[in-house]
Structure 1
Amino acid sequence: MSEPGIVLVDPDGRLQPVADALRSASLPIAERVPGLDEVETTPDCLVVLDAPETEDKPEVNALPLLDDARERFDAPVVVYTRRAGHESVRAPLDLGATDVIRVPASRPALIARRIEHAAGYGADFEPSSAQLSSLLRNYPHTLFIKDDLGRFANVTTHTAGNYGFTREQLIGMTDYELFEANHADELWEQEQRLVADGQAMINDVEEYVDQGGNRRWVSTTKVPRYDESGEIVGLVGGTQDVTPAKQQETLMAALHEASRELSRATTKPEIAAVTVDIAREIDYLPAVEVALERGDELAPIESSPTDAAESIFDRYRTAFRRTHERGETHYVDSDDAITRDASTIVDAVFEGSFEHGDVGIVIPLGGHGVLGLVAPSGAVDEFSDRLAHVLASNVAAAFDRAERERELARKNRQLEEFATLGAHELRNRLQIALANVARERATRDSQRLEGTEHTLERMERLLTQLLQLAQTSKIPRTTDATDLREAAASAWTKIETDHATIDPPPEATLAANSDSLIELFDFLFTNSVEHAGAPASIDVGLLDHGFYVADDGVGIPDEQKADLFEVEYADAAEDSGYGLYIVSAIVEAHDWEIDVRDSDSGGARFEITGVDWY
């Protein structure tokens, strides 16, 4: 017969941590049995196992065991679970378990305390009133309870101390005794709305100016407080000073805003100069120096002005070189020891006082060079270290962009030079060939010579388009007041055809580059003449925010419209693909948009929108 006490139902030994914990706390273990059938008398408490299957042990499901135990014995039942997840705790509680414990064996005192309480051996928790009193005395943040008219019914000691009062003095006061009248009125109206509507206000960040004239921010939560009958009788709320976080947020935003200047710098020296200016503008950043790779060496090119006899680069030359070689940030303490361990100089928060000597942070700039920073020892906290790394990341990105743009410009120049020289040479040879064909046709004409002449003429037109395509990167972006009718008329004079007519647009003035607009009309007119058939009728008209060019030809199949302005659309058999690609480049240079639709007569209609009219 077992005596009253704590019974462990342990089929496979996995309740050993519980047995050890109970013995260490001198709690009575009546017996340890493999199953409920071996429990002969009602114990003070039953502890049952809940565990998943392992390599050497089967699964033990506590839920059926829990039901059986509660039917057999009028005693508390504790489940000791070895499973993960909330459900393994919630399910036994829903079935009536007194407690569910997942405390590891390394915490025996906590295991024993939980079971002692479930068995009814230990003292209960303090009364709620005592707990509340303890909370209000010791909680290190602002916490308050108000009645329905905004009187402080209770507060933490910390809350009262913020305003220079004791808890006893502050209880009964209102916001009118703590703040200026306007701010107190705002709080009154806010809280009366919360009481009337029964709504909660969660983590509302408010800015105010303290008695010293400093900007501060607090995050406030206020929720309605109900009595036992469900009536709202006031509010409970709390505030937390988030000034450091808001200041850091403001500084980070200022850094990102200042870093916009980096995107406008076009050379590495300019980027370095902007970097120094940014560090000067952001108070939280220390003095900086930028050193760039020059051949096999690093060379300083820009630095913040300091009173030190040595520059940052000269003082931390070894750290600069090591950082550049390894591509890793290095920290230099006040004794000039170099390490990758940030904790040697970086504190969690700035404590408000400096120590003897300076410390340095040396950060790689993605292979371009190194950014070095120096600050008084004790002044570098985790936020300033993060701020320095964000600056370095922005600077490295600016160097990458400048290098890409320089390389792209070089390749574009080479492409343009090659295209221009090659096009002129090919045009000269084509003109010689055309002249030879023309002379030959004057003496003996034939269909073959006529076809050859047509092919050469088509090649010349395509060559002209290709040359223009190579130069589209230089489409002028400057705009002036341009007459749409005059531009269309000028382009039409270049169209050599007796089989097409044009209905010009009405007089209208838009912001455009005149030469580029004429080229746009030239390519669109040529496209219409070549594809609309003879005779062709072309119409140029106005839209609310643009203009259109339409013809009465056969139109463009729907499946081709999506790719019409891509360079891949060019079809050597049609001569027009490059022209439309150039049209799209001109449109893009003006920040316009182009679309193609079916015209009223069934042909093609090109609509250019986004135009600014005068």
Structure 2
Amino acid sequence: MSQLADRIRVLHVDDEPAFGDLTVEFLERQDDRFVVTTMTSASETLDYLADNDVDCVVSDYDMPGKNGVELLRAVREEYPDLPFILFTGKGSEEVASEAISAGVTDYLQKSGGADQYALLANRMSNAVERHAAEREIDWHRAILRNMGEGVYVLDAEYVIRFVKFRIPELESVSEENWTGRSLSYLAETDNLSWTEVTWIQEAVDRILSGETDEVRIELEPAFPELTNVIELRLSPLELDSDEQLVLGTTRDITQRKRHERRLERFETMVEATDEAAFIVDEDRTLDYANEAALNNIGASFEAVEGRSIRSLADEYVADEGGSERFVRALERAFDADDRPDVSERVEMTLDADGRNPVFEYQLSPIVEDGAVRAVVVMSREITDRMAYERELERQNDRLEEFASVVSHDLRNPLQVARTRLALADEECDSEHLDDAVDAIDRSQALIDDLLTLAQEGEGVTDLEPVELGDVVERCWGNVETAGATLVADVDRTVSADRGRLQQLLENLFRNAVEHGPDDVTVTVGILADGFYVADDGPGIPESERETVFDAGYSTTSGTGFGLVIVETIATAHGWDVRVTESDDGGMRVELTGVEFVE
């Protein structure tokens, strides 16, 4: 917005065109400096302000769409100091309070008659003049006083003619002590090395000879102690005199150099890895990418360096919403100041050279001085894994469909056949009938085991603390144990799916009872990272222990799926299972990798 001059540009906003025209006429009569433009809505006003300079806004309150206070808030977001006067017929303490809170410059109620325009013109002039006065400051003095950089002027003889840089309590580094001295004074007082002073002298010569317009030198001054590296920028100083002078400005780049060195270390690591990787800096732009990452999108480093991550994601991510997912994951990584060890993961499909590979990205923050300075992104292609998982899902769907067919279309006829055999047994006496019943019972047991395998093969998601002793007692009661004995000392709690754990234990108990003597003893005990189920039956020959979990393995007339189900349930929990010999020479099944809950 402009300063006060020979005209004051006023933007008047009122939804009544007739009142607007009347206001323009009266205001321009009051002061010939007023150049008044009228608008009838808030949206028109904001569009006008975006393209034109205005010295003051005068607005009605009651308008369709945004009212005057809502317009004021919108103006304050873009032009916080622009004079804004609310000139309204709706006068109330509530409106006035709301306007003041929103930052109104002045508030004036419409009263009727020509006097109100004289008052409005006076309020406008005062507001614009006050705004202009507040901006009338000595910019040069203010900049020098507030700027964080050091400012120096050197002449052709390397004499320091002007200094704006002071370090309290260090006399040798004060402005007064430096002004008028030769540049060599800085080396004599150990503020700079002689080599650094020579660099500056050579730069002054190059600039004054016209060889270059700018030289940048990185220096490591002795003071202040917290500053390790500063950048000195030298350029010609143009003055209305024949004297040749060089202007020097310095800024502390210690943090930047530390960050660069840290990034360089990560760049070396990124370049050395076989996986695709790239680095995103604090501005959310691509700082570095290794060859593998560039190959993934078929681009050169020159084509992507310095580009915003959002623009790159929008260009190369193929799946809907993938770009936004990645940007959100990146923001979470940059917000991880208090949890730098936590990595974000996101999967995306890329559009690269006509193909759509799927990648998994891991975003890890680089934390320096308690803040995230960059994020390293590692990626690996999972297209084949995703295809395998989809195929596995289709196979599982077919397996579930098969299990449903087995359950309905096989069980029912078998049940009918068994019922018919029971009726036949009542009418005639034949040894063949008992054999037929046994065959049907075996078929139904086989169906039950197959259905269990189909259902238990899925991964475990509903883990809960389970009292192992309680579930052992319950499972033993669910199995026909005849003269068998249970010995269990398992006062521990495990993290497991209760239903599947029960299925596992019942299968182990049933296996021990069916393959052991009538008075078999089954023992359940605790291991360092799991538990075991052992018996004193005949055991499993060592040569066959590797095959006991194969489908169909049985030493009797069983289905051969009992231990297969045990292994399937254990694997679904992430447990390891193995068969060995018990202390009594029987079979011992050990389950390890179990998580105990304290």
The bucket for the TM-score relative to the shorter chain is 0.3 to 0.5
Q: If the length of structure 2 is used for normalisation, what is the TM-score? A: 0.43
TM-score (norm 1): 0.42
